[in-house]
Amino acid sequence: MKRSTAALAAACATTLGATGVLLMPQAEAAVQGCRVDYTVTNQWQGGFQAGVKITNLGDALSGWSLRFTFPDAGQKVAQGWNATWSQSGATATATNTDWNRALASGASADLGFTGTTTGANPVPSSFTLNGVTCTGTTGPGPTTTPTTPTTTTTTPPSGRTPLAANGQLHVCGVHLCGEANRVVQLRGMSTHGLQWFDGCYNDASLDALANDWHADLLRIAMYVQEQGYETNPPWFTARVNSLVDEAEQRGMYAVIDFHTLTPGDPNYNLDRAKTFFASVAARNAAKKNVIYEIANEPNGVSWGAIKSYAEQVIPVIRAADPDAVVIVGTRGWSSLGVSDGSNETEIVNNPVNAPNIMYTFHFYAASHKDNYRSTVSRAATKLPLFVTEFGTVSATGGGALDQSSTTAWLDLLDQLKIGYANWTYSDANESSAALKPGSCAGGNYGSGALTESGSLVKSRVSTPDDF
């Protein structure tokens, strides 16, 4: 990942480390007011993402406002989190929210934003907290400005699993973040229907997914109809729980997918959803690797009906597992409404009334192209998105692999730090499957068992994470 290489802002005696951390050297004065660590965590053409950590070194505050000025007039705050953000000219202001209003002496607040830029991405040279210039450090430091940039580690140490590196996830602004409030992009695979391909999910295949693919997550697709959950709730519930355990043991996250498709109105399964999620949330509440996806692909139904369903199911989950992230399906087969001739504005204008949630987007690369990508680019500045399912082929799950469109999609998701799961980690007789037919029965999950789609997706999933 490209990192900021802004020059030293000598006028303010600050040093920009190799990771883009603005280190404010210790001043000579004994009294310090505040410290700000500003980190450029991601950059792309025309935009960037920054994390801002405020540490109060003075008296306790009952409210705060941070102000700084961009040195490049082309830099603008686009979307911020953990504060109320505004900008006037080149000056940006972040004001506390209700929940982080109090800032005790020595306490810190983590916030951040995505921004747009017309050129370079220099780091702001000074910050003020409630009008006090932040020039202090929280511990012993040099009395003069260091001449060598300080490097800090921004990726997990070798050998650490995604779960160990990030812990309990939460939604921060429009992103998914780990316990340290660093943005997390999870990349992995979805199972096929457990009623048909349960034999594909065993120790050998999950070891391959975790150790060979280096996947961050396993999406557990539990169909409700089509010979699924409704036919044997105890068996399907137990199988989902066992796969959650298997993922946890390998350091992967698990997305529990209530895989509704036909009928398309999730309210048809409202009672089943409440029963199922009450059970799995109670059983897995102590785990840090669980994400709940409450409706796979709503279709033929309004956003209002989907929202109503979500606002009845989410409290059931929260009653048992208050901290877990919940993912809400969207209109038009989870296309943000695009496949129904709509777009994300209906969600932006009427969001689900619940915290710590994300919204689903699905695509199949050969069928869904530029207009869908444009919608995701626009929506990602306002909504937390997770691509819980995508295919490299057509929306039928068949046809030829579209490498060009798949690459364009994955490049966009990487740029926007949106997590994704590919359909499917199975040996189904369809071109969307990652494994060749018969692979699971033969216990073969290596490179020789991969389809064209599997090889392409693995080449992307297995690249090092940038947590």
Catalytic: 293?
no
Amino acid at 380: A
Q: How far apart are CA 90 and CA 73, in angstroms?
A: 6
Residues 225 and 360 in one domain: yes
Residues 360 and 448 in one domain: yes
Residues 119 and 212 in one domain: no
Predicted local distance difference test score (pLDDT) of residue 112: 79
Q: How far apart are CA 70 and CA 153, in angstroms?
A: 25
- Of 70, 104, 133, the last residue of a domain is 133
Range of the domain at 20: 10-133
Any domain includes 455: yes
Pairing of strands 34-44, 357-364: unpaired
Cα atoms in the 13 Å half-sphere on the side-chain side of 384: 24
Predicted local distance difference test score (pLDDT) of residue 99: 65
Q: From the candidates 246, 248, 346, 389, which is the catalytic residue?
A: 389
Number of domains the chain contains:
2
Residues 121 and 192 in one domain: no
Residues 439 and 317 in one domain: yes
**pLDDT by residue (tens digit) across 16-50?**
333 334 433 332 222 357 888 888 866 666 777 78
- Of 133, 168, 201, the last residue of a domain is 133
Residues 249 and 376 in one domain: yes
Any domain includes 142: no
Any domain includes 145: no
Any domain includes 432: yes
Residues 249 and 355 in one domain: yes
Residues 123 and 245 in one domain: no
Q: From the candidates 297, 344, 346, 430, which is the catalytic residue?
A: 297
Q: How far apart are CA 274 and CA 229, in angstroms?
A: 13
Residue 215 CB neighbours (<10 A): 27
CATH code: domain of residue 36: 2.60.40.290
Any domain includes 5: no
Which H, E and C letters describe the chain, residue by residue? CCCCCCCCCHHHCCEECCCCEEECCCCCCCCCCEEEEEEEEEEECCEEEEEEEEEECCCCECCCEEEEECCCCCCEEEEEECCEEEEECCEEEEECCCCCCCECCCCEEEEEEEEECCCCCCCCCCEEECCEECCCCCCCCCCCCCCCCCCCCCCCCCCCCHHHHHCCCEEECCEEECCCCCECCCEEEECCCHHHHHHHCCHHHHHHHHHHCCCCEEEEEEECCCCCHHHCHHHHHHHHHHHHHHHHHCCCEEEEEEECCCCCCHHHHHHHHHHHHHHHHHHHCCCCCEEEECCCCCCCCCHHHHHHHHHHHHHHHHHHCCCCCEEECCHHHHCCCHHHCCCCHHHHHCCCCCCCEEEEEEEECCCCCHHHHHHHHHHCCCCCEEEEEEECCCCCCCCCCCHHHHHHHHHHHHHHCCCEEEECCCCCCCCCCCECCCHHHHCCCCHHHECHHHHHHHHHHCCCCCC
Any domain includes 292: yes
Any domain includes 51: yes
Q: How far apart are CA 229 and CA 435, in angstroms?
A: 25
In sequence order, the 6+-apart residues with CB closer than 8 A to the CB of 52 are: 36, 37, 38, 39, 66, 94, 110, 111, 112, 113
CATH code: domain of residue 360: 3.20.20.80
Residues 111 and 195 in one domain: no
Residues 418 and 293 in one domain: yes
Residues 273 and 362 in one domain: yes
Any domain includes 420: yes
Residues 306 and 235 in one domain: yes
Catalytic: 297?
yes
* Local confidence pLDDT in tens for the 467 residues of the chain: 332 333 323 333 333 333 334 433 332 222 357 888 888 866 666 777 788 888 888 888 889 999 999 888 788 888 777 788 899 988 999 998 776 788 888 888 878 787 888 776 668 878 888 888 886 543 333 222 222 222 222 333 445 899 999 999 999 999 999 998 899 999 999 999 999 999 999 999 999 999 999 999 999 999 999 999 999 999 999 999 999 999 999 999 999 999 999 999 999 999 999 999 999 999 999 999 999 999 999 999 999 999 999 999 999 999 999 999 999 999 999 999 999 999 999 999 999 999 999 999 999 999 999 999 999 999 999 999 999 999 999 999 999 999 999 999 999 999 999 999 999 999 999 999 999 999 999 999 999 999 999 999 999 999 999 88
